[in-house]
Amino acid sequence: MLSVTHRVSPNADAVAAEVIDGEAIIIDLATGVYYSMDGVGGSIWALIETESSFEEIVTAIVARYEVSRNQAETDVQEFVAELLREKLVVVSEQQSAARADPKAAPEQKLPYVAPKLITYRDMGDLLALDPPVPGLQDIPWKTAAE
Amino acid sequence: MTSRPAAAFSAVQAGFERAKAVHPDGLSQSCVSLAGEIARLRVVGRDLSTHITRPWAHLIAPESTSEAPRLRIDLWDAEESRVPLPPGLASDRIGETGAVTSSRDGRFLVHETRYCITVLDRREERLVGSFEAGSRLPLEERARPLNLPLTVWCSDRDIQLVHSGLVARNGLGVLLPGLPEAGKSTAAVACAHAGFDFLGDDCVALRLSADGTFVGHSLYGSTTLARSQMARFSLISRAIRRRHTRSLAFLDQASSVQLIRAAPISLIALPRIVDSTDSRARPATKGDALLRLAPSSLLKRAVPAQHCLSRMATLVDRVPSFWLDLDGELLEIPRRVERLLAEAA
């Protein structure tokens, strides 16, 4: 169970992810399974990308959506647990001061729908039948600075 | 101590020079434009040269081009030249899918399959390779030669190879992304059959211009449709060169089919198979477009995944996306794409 100080971040070694128009698209590069989440789920992922703590995630969701704190805590717990089961995120215990939410809360809160992770296994099935060439994942790439 | 990949590059390069010396009549040289960059290609072996260059017939640059080649490719046919691969290079890791090995510093990339070994020097932009026999190249290599090392080379130049078809009408490029068997190849070939310019049905290159527009580049002028699908395109069926469960055709040999090298991307049309459809243009969300474009463009590909995904996200953010419904009416596909282009304008 997540505590308020647990920080959640993407499993950067295993996934590639983008948030576009509030929808998060995540691809597990090892298994070929890919995911999408929009609405509240997309908002949670955007916060995860900034390595927010559980407390910060819940606070931001309550500020943005019409949801009670108790409900938000329950749903975020369950959602992050699902992301952990799918190995899309990692959790760390980092003691640091709470950061102010850089985005101003909307004047009018948005309707709340519980976050939902949509899973696509078609490419994963194809990968299982026809795996990638060994060694592809080990190719070094230049960084943007280089 | 020289790494194995570096030693492999030296050995394969030396093998090419020896093949060139003992079989000078078998040497051919050409320049091709790959995603807007000039590559100089030298091949020892007539069959090998024929098959390697065939999908690039529409990309051949004039011999007199003053532009210095960005990439230099040297290949030789071990059987025709009777110069075997240097001993000790065969890896015990080669299975059905081949194997990739990088030097620790990332400079050299070795790709080994059952029928060839290629080594890419990423710093000097040189690609050397030895093929067991040009006359026995498998269908996939004839359709999209050197695909893996060229994917890496393109990625190093910030050129993204995507799993998508690409056609153009009046200079406006239409990207047709999709998972395997989604209908993108069929849609691309159907459009080419109807007079669209053809740039690719499965693998195309994307470059981001300085002004923020995306330009799609043709990499291969080939298509490998299922035999049943190919039979429905009369103009193209005459260009079939290999028949198996999938047929290989080179579209520059199909009458009335025009191949071009590049076009700015104006529309993303997402093929999806439906039972029936009407003529309405249905916009797709950016998320839908990214879900159709990204997974098969990243998985099993030699690409920097996060960077490529970010670049694709920029593409779908800037270019409108629509659903392209496919209900089995091949003649309707190009008409629907025309309507989508009008809608996107």
Task: Note the pLDDT tens digit of each residue in A82-120.
Answer: 999 999 999 998 655 455 454 555 678 999 999 999 999
**Mutation test of the interface with chain B: which of A9, A11, A15, A20, choosing the one with the most B Cβ atoms within 10 A?**
A20
Give Cα separations from B79 to B9, B83, B114, B161 (angstroms): 20, 7, 14, 32
Q: State how far residue B48 is from chain A, nearest Cα, in angstroms.
A: 23
Nearest chain B residue to A129 by CA distance is: B97
Are the C-beta atoms of A34 and A26 separated by less than 8 Å? Answer: yes
Are the C-beta atoms of B239 and B249 separated by less than 8 Å? Answer: yes
What is the rounded radius of gyration, in angstroms, for the C-alpha atoms of chain B? 20
Whether residues A25 and B290 touch (CB distance < 8 A) is answered with yes
Q: In this predicted model, what pLDDT tens digit does every residue of B294-332 receive, in sequence order?
A: 999 998 888 999 999 999 999 999 999 999 988 878 888
Are the C-beta atoms of A76 and A121 separated by less than 8 Å? Answer: no
Nearest CB among B105, B106, B309 relative to A18 is that of: B309
- Averaged pLDDT for residues B80-85: 93
* Cβ of residue B156 closer than 8 Å to a chain A Cβ: yes
- Per-residue confidence (pLDDT) for residue A130, from 0 to 100: 79
* Cβ of residue A131 closer than 8 Å to a chain B Cβ: yes
For residue B262, the SS3 value is: strand
* Cβ of residue A34 closer than 8 Å to a chain B Cβ: yes
Nearest CB among A27, A36, A134 relative to B298 is that of: A27
Q: Return residues 34-73 of B near A (CB < 8 Å).
A: none
d(CA A75, CA B111): 47
User: Chain centroid to CA A111: how far?
Assistant: 20
- Averaged pLDDT for residues B208-226: 93
Nearest CB among B98, B298, B305 relative to A133 is that of: B98
H/E stretch holding B101: strand B99-102
d(CA B210, CA B191): 29
Are the C-beta atoms of B257 and B198 separated by less than 8 Å? Answer: yes
Are the C-beta atoms of B279 and B336 separated by less than 8 Å? Answer: yes
Tokens (6 digits) for B184: 């993108």
Instruction: Please measure the distance between the N-terminal and C-terminal CA atoms of chain A and give it in whole angstroms.
Output: 41
pLDDT at B274 over 90: no
Q: In this predicted model, what pLDDT tens digit does every residue of A27-53 receive, in sequence order?
A: 999 899 999 999 999 999 999 999 999
Whether residues B101 and A122 touch (CB distance < 8 A) is answered with no
Whether residues B287 and A38 touch (CB distance < 8 A) is answered with yes
Contacts of B317 in chain A (CB under 8 A): 20-21
d(CA B54, CA B46): 12
pLDDT at B33 over 60: yes
- Per-residue confidence (pLDDT) for residue B235, from 0 to 100: 62
Average pLDDT of chain B is: 90
pLDDT at B238 over 70: no
Q: How many C-alpha atoms does B138 have within 13 Å on its Cβ side?
A: 9
Whether residues A34 and B294 touch (CB distance < 8 A) is answered with yes
- Averaged pLDDT for residues B41-65: 92
Q: How many C-alpha atoms does B324 have within 13 Å on its Cβ side?
A: 38
Contacts of A21 in chain B (CB under 8 A): 285-287, 317
Exposed, middle or buried: residue B205 (CB in 10 Å: 0-12, 13-18, 19+)?
buried
d(CA B83, CA B81): 5
Nearest CB among A27, A135, A142 relative to B101 is that of: A135
* Cβ of residue B97 closer than 8 Å to a chain A Cβ: yes
Q: Return residues 111-130 of B near A (CB < 8 Å).
A: 111
The full length of chain B comes to 345
Q: In this predicted model, what pLDDT tens digit does every residue of B8-28 receive, in sequence order?
A: 999 999 999 999 999 999 999
